Amino acid sequence: MAVEEIVLLNADDEAVGTAPKGASHHRDTPYHLAFSCYVTDTEGRVLITQRALGKRTFPGVWTGSCCGHPGPGEKLRDAVLRRLRDELGIRDADLMSVLPRFQYRAVAADGTVENERCPVVRATVPADTAVRPNADEVEQAEWWTWDRCLELAGRPESSPWYRLQLAELAPLGAPPDWPDAGPADLPPAIAW
């Protein structure tokens, strides 16, 4: 199996190289490209997940639907669809860029640092979409109301990036009302 590579970024969010994902997340994690995705259904619910307890970074925290790292040369849409399939068994979704400028730095209890330019994407699926969580990635996956999602952002069992993202998403209204931010403000390192 090939080693998963992350895309390293400079201060202008331009790609400056790659590195192995597993070996790159530590106390001095380099700034790199990632993404977060919120799956919403046609009834306005949001798929919230608990990270698998065996995850190396931030195990067991509650967060958005999925996240990941685009590979070198991979488009953002393709990376999101790959992770939706691999983490949640979701094969198709209507994607939209919501927070293309989002970035954050967070430190886990063990000292591991997340240091990411992390565009946020909404994926809309039919209400009857089957979700099949990959146990290596997801402990639990549940459909929640937007109000419940907002409450989670105020609790310590949520991921740091979830709390920061919800602070920017909440003023936009409920997920069906989120405006399409388009690809213009995505980092130069990735195409839509």
Domain for residue 168, yes or no?
yes
Domain for residue 192, yes or no?
no
Catalytic residue annotation: 67, 116
Give per-residue pLDDT as tens, 135-173.
999 999 999 999 999 999 999 999 999 999 999 999 999
Give per-residue pLDDT as tens, 103-124.
999 999 899 999 999 999 999 9
User: 3-state DSSP: the chain helix, strand, coil percent, rounded to 5?
Assistant: 20, 30, 45
Domain for residue 36, yes or no?
yes
The parent domain of residue 109 ranges over: 5-9+17-173
Domain for residue 181, yes or no?
no
Domain for residue 186, yes or no?
no
For the chain, state the CA radius of gyration: 15
Number of helices (H) and strands (E), helices first, in the chain?
4, 12
Q: Which residue spans within 69-137 are E strands per DSSP?
A: 94-99, 103-107, 113-117, 120-125
d(CA 19, CA 114): 14
CATH assignment at residue 137: 3.90.79.10
**How many domains is the chain partitioned into structurally?**
1
Q: Is the pLDDT of residue 28 over 70?
A: yes
Domain for residue 190, yes or no?
no
Domain for residue 148, yes or no?
yes
